[in-house]
Amino acid sequence: MRSQIKYAIVIALAIAFPYITPDPDFWVSSGGTRALWLGVAALSMSFLNRNLGLMSLGQLFFSGVSGYIVAISSVMHGVKFGTSVPLAILAGTLSGVVIGWIALKTKGVYFFMLTLAVTLGLYSFANQAQEITRGHTGINSIPSPIIFGMDFAYVKPLYYLFLGISVLLFALCKFVERTSFGIALKGVRDNEDRMVSMGYRIMPLKMIAFVFSAFIASIAGVMGVFYVTNISPDSVGLLRSIDLLVIVVVGGATYLGGAFVGAVLIAVFEAIIQDFTVYYVGATGILFIVVLMLAPQGLMGINAQIRAKRAKSEGASK
Amino acid sequence: MTQFVFTFLNGITLAGLYFLVASGLTLIFGLMRVINLAHGAFYLLAGYISWTVVDKTNNWFYGAVVGALSLGIFGTLVYVLLLRKFQYEELRVALITLGVSLVLAQAMLAIFGGEYYQTNIPTPLSFTIPVPGLGLSYPFFRIFVLLLAIAVAIGLWIFITKTRYGAIIRAGVDDTTMVSALGINVQAVFIWIFFLGSLLVGFAGAVGGTTNSFGMGSDGDYLLFSLQVVIIGGLGSIGGVAIGSLLVGVIGQYAVGYFPTFAGIITFTMLILVLAFRPQGILGKKS
């Protein structure tokens, strides 16, 4: 019950945000909408890390696949969003099967490296395949969607659309975790051998979780296209990958809500620090290192970390 | 025919460079289980440093020595200050090094800007040699890079398998406690490994900055090459790096030469094929 009240307060605040923030023209878009987009992308990473113990940098690959498909089909071939968006999300999700088939054979730091290589591979393809992706320039001035006469080029409609998507996907992740499938996943994370001996087939479980996270990442890819209104190789580059990782780690990589906490924090941090230095990415990097060294559980985990430390020192004094 | 031969020469000399770049990464990982994802940024930093030294002194060899040494020292500092405490948490260390690469990339952008640089080839080595049967000639310096890579490969192999220090390093990795009990300072051994691995990537940056141009974004490119090489060859194995470099270098160059649009995809498919059959890489040990 307590957590439901907490969620209700957060959602109420998020709904009221455009009306209570100072300078709404700037903060709704650069703070709110941006944080929701990055939060959904980070959610796909958190889900995988929390339920399978796998830290994946491949999520940007799926976002990139779906984002590029929407951009290419609508700008270069005039396909309507009603067709291109579902297709793009489907393609991004299915690409998860291919990547998962390879990547899920590995674990830990190998998995991390392999998924990083996958994303960097898409980056170099997007740069080289100029006929398809327009190379380094990227695809610009992507139009905004108009749904039931509502034009999402405006700041507030886009914010509320993203808020709706975020709440739905967060709830979906929570729901999946409570199903018997979700519980089996946690079993795989904690002790794979025991799950095997209990008669579970591990690979299909991992694969479904991986493809589900690819589905969320694909949605984030489409959100990115509509928010930024362009897509270029940098949208799937090393810096953007690290950006997402920073969000997940700073928020708390073992908490679903950590994705959004981290996204809000980083969006606000970068929006503010941009006024002071053009090298704000470096500042984010320093923040990232400090969090990793001092609070590896992230902001969401600070309470638990302090509690554990106190319990330890009490145990020592007895 | 000419294109075929030249693509091969480009590929095999590029493989030499890849070997120099990736050997440090695999050495550190193989012996310490630490994966340094700032490796690409280290490469780029060495490129800038040696370019600056060559620009000031007009001596390529000073540039290579200063580039290698300063990266060796810098890498050791990163290890001692940021990584040592968490050495046995593989993923946390990998994440911290990624943060280091972010900070380094920005610092280099602030100092050197967004232009591309290339160090001049040292005059005594700046000549071409004829390619037999084609009546054309090929720059000697690229062949020189390949020879350097072969020399480093043999040197590393002898150092690790044949010398007393190599034996201490291998033992220190297998059983840290036992080696300490024998009176050997394992912490110092780890520092030397990190120094050596960073020294190698520093040297690679000086050499690669002469054969190829470099600048903003090169850190990501070379991190990708190194990852491809070590994933294909098998992480932690020097022989694996040699095989991986050859495959990525030669096949990559043919792909760029003949199918430029899909070059990235071709190298990538190769990586996926290798992993589909050997998830630990061609020469990698099963963990």
Tokens 């030669």 map to which residue?
A: B250
CA distance linking residue B18 with residue A102, whole number of Å: 24
Helices (H) then strands (E): counts for chain B:
12, 2
Whether the CB-CB separation of A211 and A100 falls below 8 Å is answered with yes
Please enumerate in sequence order all residues whose Cβ is within 8 A of that of B262, keeping only pairs 6 or more positions apart, or say none.
Answer: A125, A128, A129, B255
Mutate to test the interface with A, among B98, B271, B275 (most CBs of A within 10 A): B98
Q: How is residue A19 written in tokens?
A: 């009306």
- What DSSP character marks residue B129? E
Chain-centre distance of CA B262, in angstroms? 25
User: Which of B115, B119, B105 lies closest to B39, judged by CA?
Assistant: B105
pLDDT over 70 (residue B269): yes
Q: Residue B128: which H helix or E strand, with range?
A: strand B128-131
pLDDT in tens, B15-29: 999 999 999 998 888
User: Which of A81, A63, A86, A227 lies closest to A159, judged by CA?
Assistant: A227
Flag if B261 and A286 touch (Cβ within 8 Å).
no
pLDDT over 90 (residue B127): no
CA distance linking residue A168 with residue A170, whole number of Å: 6
Whether the full predicted model's pTM is greater than 0.90, yes or no, is: no
Flag if A238 and B109 touch (Cβ within 8 Å).
no
CA distance linking residue A213 with residue A176, whole number of Å: 11
CA distance linking residue A56 with residue A245, whole number of Å: 9
Chain-centre distance of CA A316, in angstroms? 40
Please, what is the end-to-end C-alpha distance for chain B in angstroms? 44
Whether the CB-CB separation of B67 and B206 falls below 8 Å is answered with yes
Minimal C-alpha gap between B168 and chain A (Å): 26
Q: How is residue B111 written in tokens?
A: 């100092």
CA distance linking residue A115 with residue A177, whole number of Å: 23
Cβ-nearest to A245 among B90, B98, B109: B98
B117 CB neighbour count, 10 Å cutoff: 17
Flag if B103 and A285 touch (Cβ within 8 Å).
yes
Q: pLDDT at position A25, please?
A: 78
Amino acid letter, residue A302 = I
Q: How is residue A273 written in tokens?
A: 């620090």
Per-residue confidence band for B284, with pLDDT thresholds at 50, 70 and 90: confident
Length of chain A: 318
pLDDT in tens, A189-227: 888 888 888 888 888 999 999 999 999 999 999 999 999
Whether the CB-CB separation of B235 and B284 falls below 8 Å is answered with yes
Query: In DSSP terms, which residues pair with A150 in a beta bridge?
Result: A147
Q: pLDDT at position A81, please?
A: 84
Q: pLDDT at position A37, please?
A: 93
User: Complex ipTM, two decimals?
Assistant: 0.84
Amino acid letter, residue B161 = T
CA distance linking residue B29 with residue B285, whole number of Å: 13
| Residue ranges of chain A whose pLDDT lies below 50 | none
A114 Cβ under 8 Å from any chain B Cβ: yes
Q: How is residue A16 written in tokens?
A: 């009221």
Q: pLDDT at position B287, please?
A: 55
Q: pLDDT at position A1, please?
A: 59
Q: pLDDT at position A27, please?
A: 84
Residues of A in contact with B287 (CB under 8 A): 110
Phi and psi of B280, rounded to 5°?
A: -90, 5
Residues of B in contact with A125 (CB under 8 A): 262, 264-265, 268
Q: How is residue B78 written in tokens?
A: 């990163």
Sign of CA dihedral B254, B259, B261, B263: negative
Per-residue confidence band for B263, with pLDDT thresholds at 50, 70 and 90: confident
CA distance linking residue B8 with residue B10, whole number of Å: 5
Q: How is residue B162 written in tokens?
A: 């044949």
Q: pLDDT at position B73, please?
A: 97
Q: pLDDT at position B76, please?
A: 96
Length of chain B: 287
Q: How is residue B23 written in tokens?
A: 């050997």
CA distance linking residue B146 with residue A134, whole number of Å: 35
User: Which of B121, B143, B148 lies closest to B10, judged by CA?
Assistant: B143
Per-residue confidence band for B46, with pLDDT thresholds at 50, 70 and 90: very high
Q: pLDDT at position B203, please?
A: 96
Phi and psi of A167, rounded to 5°?
A: -60, -45
Query: How many CA atoms within 13 Å lie on the side-chain side of B206?
Result: 27
B114 Cβ under 8 Å from any chain A Cβ: no
A131 Cβ under 8 Å from any chain B Cβ: yes
pLDDT in tens, A115-127: 888 888 888 888 8
Burial (CB < 10 A; 0-12, 13-18, 19+), residue B139, is middle
Per-residue confidence band for B67, with pLDDT thresholds at 50, 70 and 90: very high
pLDDT over 80 (residue B39): yes
Whether the CB-CB separation of A123 and B220 falls below 8 Å is answered with yes
Burial (CB < 10 A; 0-12, 13-18, 19+), residue A249, is buried
A242 Cβ under 8 Å from any chain B Cβ: yes
* Better pLDDT: B149 or A302: B149
Helix-helix angle A280-294:A238-251, to 10 degrees = 40
Percent of chain B with pLDDT strictly greater than 90: 48
Residues of B in contact with A55 (CB under 8 A): 91, 95
pLDDT over 80 (residue B133): no
CA distance linking residue A161 with residue A40, whole number of Å: 13
Query: In DSSP terms, which residues pair with B136 in a beta bridge?
Result: B131
CA distance linking residue A298 with residue A288, whole number of Å: 10
A181 Cβ under 8 Å from any chain B Cβ: no
CA distance linking residue A250 with residue A261, whole number of Å: 8
